[in-house]
Structure 1
């Protein structure tokens, strides 16, 4: 089913005479409502995203672990590091409303940089570090970027643009190198205190992410603090609440890029509110994935379809003693065909497999699967998330369609991007 965010819902409808529909669908207006009870979201208009993430108390120990070296950041140090980095940015002239480019691969420092920018009321613009010079220039022009974090190999792409640039190391070992001295100093620059913080509203812009460009060139999606808070609550924390096992025992492997809404939602924000451990991998390599799962006893592995196919293929060539820690593999961002799903389920009978659906425009909130011992549907993307509404409409006429129909999916809810007339 193709999907497109469009919150302007017309009132045309098809005939519903003598047809009985489930309670979660209204034939009068074509709206599908979530089967899950609505969740309370923060009502304080001045409750920003970073404050929300750290407002959830837990007993988590290791927050972020570099897969290659084992260097880590504990939960006790996470918030102080965010505040210190924010203070360092403040001293370098970054202020509320400024746009900061993150041209970075995954690292244990990515969430710290991301949240430190938001502490200032500034805006994060994540971008694929493999982007071409023309792609980078387009985003910088679109967003009005005035500051950048990147890796040394990308300095040549940014230097002609005349903005301040800070190099970010991959792990703790890199902090000792001269090229990362500015970043190292920011890590110990002091604490960005409460008295220094600007007034940040939930409706303020927090991030500008670029969509896949399915209908043309890649487009900037403006997400607010409210959108991202909704994502943490309606996607990550809600899903965790569906399972009996403790979030503190969950170990996630972060191979999905954090510059993409899927990886950003989980590894840079949502999971850090739960106390789970995130094992960070710079790039996907199936042999390194196998080693990391076994070494760190990874329990959860979010993937995209090509990763899942590679995982299944690789698993067939090893004995059954590997990957025994895995509890769940979840797939999103692209559709899976039935043969790939069945191949995975047969190869990993002890692993729960679910799919989900969301977009950059919906801050990754959409639908999510859930299996029980008695009921599972591996091919389904699951149920509509709490607090979300949907319509399925005819491609040509925009007439809304009842359950069992195929058409275009429209979503409405608190996670939908800024300036969408919901």
Structure 2
């Protein structure tokens, strides 16, 4: 059975397939909100520095000229693979415009997580074949080490300016390239053949996929364009009903991550919104930005909402009345956490989106006027899905779990140099090519009669207790409602009778646990689960207290790190016997 987007949503319009993403984003001919009526696309949340939409378009033009001259990038020579550039930076207002400048040169951008170590960045430089590295001063030491190890000349390292930069940068800056570009002749327009946008890579984004080490995902220009259109037309009816022409959105999530790149930045820019850019999450600067810029839409990940709930006193010191919609992604947002947030902020609507790098990324999204707490919303226009059970049968009924398969124009070209991963992740049947998500889902109808998708958890993360499946995300969401828990993660541990049982790693709230022995707190948390969850979901693996839960830059819990910690503990205990 193939599931479709709700009938109430507009159909996905024809997707241009012979232009770059840069032209799609800057040319009103392709439906973007008029430049002169748009808000400033990107504004620094620390300093207020910004450029108008038309100024951004001009800066992209000049920057393309400067980069082309400096790096010898000639669009009509060689291929796009000879013009791969790695972008290793914290969020800045020039982050997205820089990527557009590279696209104007018929090049490829490989965003790198700002959390990378030098060895991780070196791997990406080598695997992508990067010819240059753009970074920021805060990450320059790591960038230099990685570039040296990868054999990349320091002459090909460049700097994106950020708030707080002082002195003269040791490398050429983006602003200097723009100044140089002003004096150069225009870059010749690209003349792409029909379908070239669907074949040519725009971004190399690194993802673990459904298994294994991070791999370079080849995302075409048309993949991204289709996802931007899906995000815009899917929300258009509600924006009309709420009389939203343009709005101010939070740009805190890493722009190197596909969620921040597409859903937060590109969708907002295309529809004329303003993105308030922050380099990283700090509760004080975050709240100050919401207050100062009157942000309406908070694009977040679950840890940010958790921090808000844990810092209620600080939140009260700021005017947050501008916030109407809190939109979470990258990891499941627990129902209990949402209910807690709505008790404190009843004027909010809280929704989620679901996606993958391999889908560019948006697959499902919550409509502001059709919220079903705990769901990740409905399929976005142009996207179709199936649910398949472990034995390969297609699900045809609601509330029946299985793996989600996805199809649509935003499903990417595949992984670079990884045929095995391609064969495992992208499969064919009589209905065409499908993306295996690796996530267990169920579909239910909302009060308004629309199909909503509930993501249970990663299939590979599910804990198997005597044949029962236990989703770590469900237990984590429940534990977070306990006043002693600041943060937590749940993993499986081996058990001779049950096969596996859940174990919780917990970061305590110091003010709520002071003077209480860890053993008593652990017992209270175990009882908290026992009082509300089925027997097979109890924390029979115990509770262990830690200083921090390991997470990726996008907020996903790195359970593999905790599993390795548990294996090390078991080895140590075994050695003592």
Q: TM-score range by the shorter chain?
A: 0.7 to 0.9
Equivalent of 1:179 in 166, 170, 188? 170
2:63–2:98 Cα contact (<8 Å) kept = yes
Quote how far apart the aligned CAs of 1:37 are: 4.0
| C-alpha separation in 1, matches of 2:106 and 2:166 | 27
Aligned counterparts of 2:244 and 2:100: Cα–Cα separation in 1: 21
2:239 equivalent to 1:243: yes
What SS does structure 1 have at the residue aligned with 2:234? helix
Q: What residue in structure 1 maps to residue 147 of structure 2?
A: 158
Distance change >3 Å, CA 318–CA 354, structure 1 → 2? closer
Which is further off, 50-59 or 291-300? 50-59
Match of 1:208 in 2: 204
User: Deviations along 1:387-408, whole A, 9 cap, x unmatched?
Assistant: 111000012x221111321010
CA offset at residue 277 of structure 1? 0.9
Per the alignment, in what secondary structure is the counterpart of residue 372 of structure 2? coil
**Cα distance, 1:127 vs. partner?**
0.6
2:326 and 2:357 map into 1 onto residues whose CA distance is 21
The reply on whether 1:359 has 2:356 as its aligned counterpart is yes
Distance 2:318 2:159 in 1: 40
2:67 to 65, 83, 89: 89
TM-score by length of 1: 0.86
3-state SS of paired residue (1:73): coil
Which one is further off, 381-390 or 311-320?
311-320
Please say which of residues 106-115 and 175-184 is displaced more in the overlay: 175-184
Please state how far the C-alpha of 1:142 moved relative to its aligned partner: 1.6
**Map of 1:232 onto structure 2:** 228
Structure 2: segments with no counterpart, 5+ residues: 415-425, 434-577
Q: Which residue of 1 aligns with 2:367?
A: 370
1:357 to partner: Cα distance: 0.5
Q: Tell me the alpha carbon deviations over residues 317-345 of structure 1, each in whole angstroms, 9 at most, x when there is no partner.
A: 55386201111110111112221111111
* CA–CA separation in structure 2 for the residues paired with 1:47 and 1:157: 33
- Checking the alignment, whether the CA contact within 8 Å between 1:393 and 1:401 is kept in structure 2 is yes
Output the aligned Cα RMSD: 2.2
| Match in the other structure for 2:393 | 399
Structure ranking higher in strand proportion:
2
Q: Which residue of 2 aligns with 1:42?
A: 15
Relative to structure 1, is the Cα distance of residues 320 and 134 closer, same or farther in structure 2, using a 3 angstrom cutoff? closer
TM-score normalised according to structure 2 size: 0.64
Q: CA deviation at 1:180?
A: 5.5
Q: CA deviation at 1:195?
A: 2.8
Aligned length: 388
TM-superposed deviation, 1:267:
4.1
Residue range with higher mean Cα deviation, 222-231 or 266-275: 266-275
1:343 maps onto 2:340 in alignment: yes
State the distance in 1 between where 2:233 and 2:278 align: 23
Q: State the SS of the aligned residue for 1:243.
A: helix
State whether residues 240 and 247 of structure 1, in contact with CA within 8 Å, keep that contact through their aligned partners in structure 2.
no
If asked which structure has higher relative contact order (CA below 8 Å, sep 6+), I would say: 1
- What do residues 276-321 of structure 1 show as CA deviations (whole Å, max 9, x unaligned)? 1111000001111111100111111111111111122323555386
Structure with max Cα Rg: 2
3-state SS, counterpart of residue 252 of structure 1: strand
**2:109 counterpart (110, 114, 124):** 124
Q: Contact 1:41–1:233 at 8 Å: present in 2 too? A: no
Q: Does 1:33 align with 2:11?
A: no
